[in-house]
Amino acid sequence: MKEDTIVAAATPPGQAGAVGIVRMSGPRAKKIAEEVFCAVDLDFKKIEPYRMYLGKINTKNFLDRAFCVYCKAPKSYTGEDVIEFHLHGGITIVKGVIRELTERGARPADAGEFTKRAYLNGKMNLSEAEGIADMINAESEAEIMAAYRLMSGEVSQTISEAASDILEAASNLEAYLDYPEELEEQVFEPSKKALKSALLKLRTALKNSENRRYITDGINIALAGLTNVGKSSLMNVLLKDERAIVTDIPGTTRDVLKESFMLDGIKVNILDTAGIRESTDTVERIGVEKAKKAIDSADIVLFVMDASLPITKEEESLYSLISQKKHIRIENKGDIIKYPRIKDITIEAKTGKNVDKLISLILEKTDAKTALSSSILTRERHIYAVKEAEKSLQSAIKNFDSTTPDCTLVDIKDAYSSLLKITGEDVSESIVDKIFSTFCVGK
């Protein structure tokens, strides 16, 4: 593969824009570029790396004024010689230049092949490469930050520290097997201490990752309450848009309305449910059943109460349905309170008063800020590997004093091997291929 020179568009395919970037990587990149690009005072034998040259690119069918940048191996993204052409962003121009370069010896890159070469050439480990894919696909600021931590090596650093502890214990026990009479006292306690340290690091990583869904999928919030208590008004003020119908007629919301908005960088999926009450209306009854399902699946329930009306048995009954779930009791219509409620916060949904405080309370109750501030494991592959390592460490520590060192080493080596799968140091070629096949072409 390293003898191939690959080429692809680095800007989104099939979209015209101000600039279109075509990237080549491989041993013939500079030679092929020399055949199609010229600029005043540019001699490709003396080309200066990391400098933009303004010149002309020449294909069989057209010319374009363009920039050319040369990144010299190994100080490039892929670790190979890399050439980038910054063209006018017409679709036909980009396709035409790629066609010209392939006719001169480059081949079209496979999905993720540039980053795969970077990984194979030691420019990044496997988890860092996955972080790049996550950066590209991120839909929220929270996803961007989590992906950046993965891409920049923060996550793999945590794993590496645990792996270092495990390796220390393994080295100690291996030395003991060679010199049992001399090292017994110096080896056993430090080894156990190192294993416990590694286990603590892995458990902390798993604990921090419990709320990873908030990063990848967002927080699911259900608005619950009786009919006409102001749920739809609250939804509209949270969305800063009139998305839900607001009237004085009870039972206006017949279905679960789902909308999303950004809350301090986290995606929030808010579900405005039908007001729950006894009804003979078939459509409304279906809406009520859907409301109950939405409440059951929510991460947190906002229980809205109308403080201008008396407490009813229906309200008490509804609260009993959600009382065991994570929830916030909201006393609405705070400007006309006649029947105060036991509440967590008082708001005025129509005017938006105290809604900013409600937002802070949502973040506090869901512990979403912890997910934002921590280096969390967001990929299932990483979670699985850490859990496997955790099991092996638990076994090693539990049986440390009751079994022989060589048996303990089996568990220790299994734990170490599990962690190496995250960074790609002990992973099969098929898994590597599968990971990079999810990347876009040109990355």
86-97 pLDDT, tens per residue? 999 999 999 999
The pLDDT value given to residue 255: 52
Instruction: Name residues whose C-beta falls within 8 Å of residue 34's C-beta, 6 or more positions apart in sequence.
Output: 44
Quote the pLDDT of residue 328. 95
- For 270-329, the pLDDT digits (tens) are 887 655 545 445 544 555 666 677 788 888 999 999 999 999 998 898 898 888 889 999
**Across 78-83, average pLDDT:** 96
pTM for the whole structure: 0.75
Average pLDDT over residues 387-392: 96
Q: Are the folds of 6-124 and 129-209+377-424 the same?
A: no
User: Average pLDDT of 18-43?
Assistant: 94
Q: Check whether 55 has a pLDDT greater than 80.
A: yes
420-433 pLDDT tens trace:
998 887 777 877 78
pLDDT of residue 252: 46
Q: What percent of the chain has pLDDT over 70?
A: 89
Tokens 């902390």 sit on residue: 204
**Is the model's pLDDT at 12 over the cut of 50?**
yes
pLDDT of residue 182: 63
Range 214-244 burial, b when 16+ CB lie within 10 A, else e: bbbebbbbbbbbbbbbbbbbbbbbbbeeebb
**Domain 129-209+377-424, CATH number (from 1.10.10.60, 3.40.30.10, 3.30.365.10, 1.20.120.430):** 1.20.120.430
432 vs 385, residue with greater confidence: 385
**Which among 307, 312, 316, 320 is positioned nearest to 349, based on CA atoms?**
307
For residue 175, what pLDDT band results from cuts at 50, 70 and 90?
confident
* pLDDT band of 139, cuts 50, 70, 90: confident
Does CATH number 3.40.50.1220 belong to domain 215-371? no
The residue among 358, 370, 146, 373 whose CA lies nearest residue 270 is 358
Residue-range domain boundaries for the chain: 6-124, 129-209+377-424, 215-371
Q: How many CB atoms lie within 10 A of CB 416?
A: 23
Torsion (CA) 75, 79, 80, 85 in degrees, nearest 10: -70
Tell me what the mean pLDDT of segment 73-102 comes to.
95
Region of poorest pLDDT, from 112-116, 214-218, 370-374: 370-374
Q: What is the pLDDT of residue 137?
A: 85
Sheet holding 37-38, edge to edge: 37-38, 52-58, 63-71, 82-89, 17-25, 6-9, 107-108
User: How many CB atoms within 10 Å of residue 75?
Assistant: 11
pLDDT in tens, 198-251: 999 999 889 888 878 888 888 899 888 888 888 888 888 888 865 544 444 444
Q: pLDDT category, 384, cuts 50, 70, 90? A: very high
Whether 38 shows a pLDDT value over 90: the answer reads yes
CATH 3.30.1360.120 for the 6-124 domain, yes or no: yes
How confident is the prediction for the chain on average, in pLDDT?
A: 86
pLDDT tens for each residue of 358-367? 988 988 888 7
Q: Return the minimum-mean-pLDDT range out of 57-66, 118-127, 221-230, 241-250.
A: 241-250
The per-residue pLDDT for range 257-275, each reduced to its tens digit, is 778 888 778 888 888 765 5
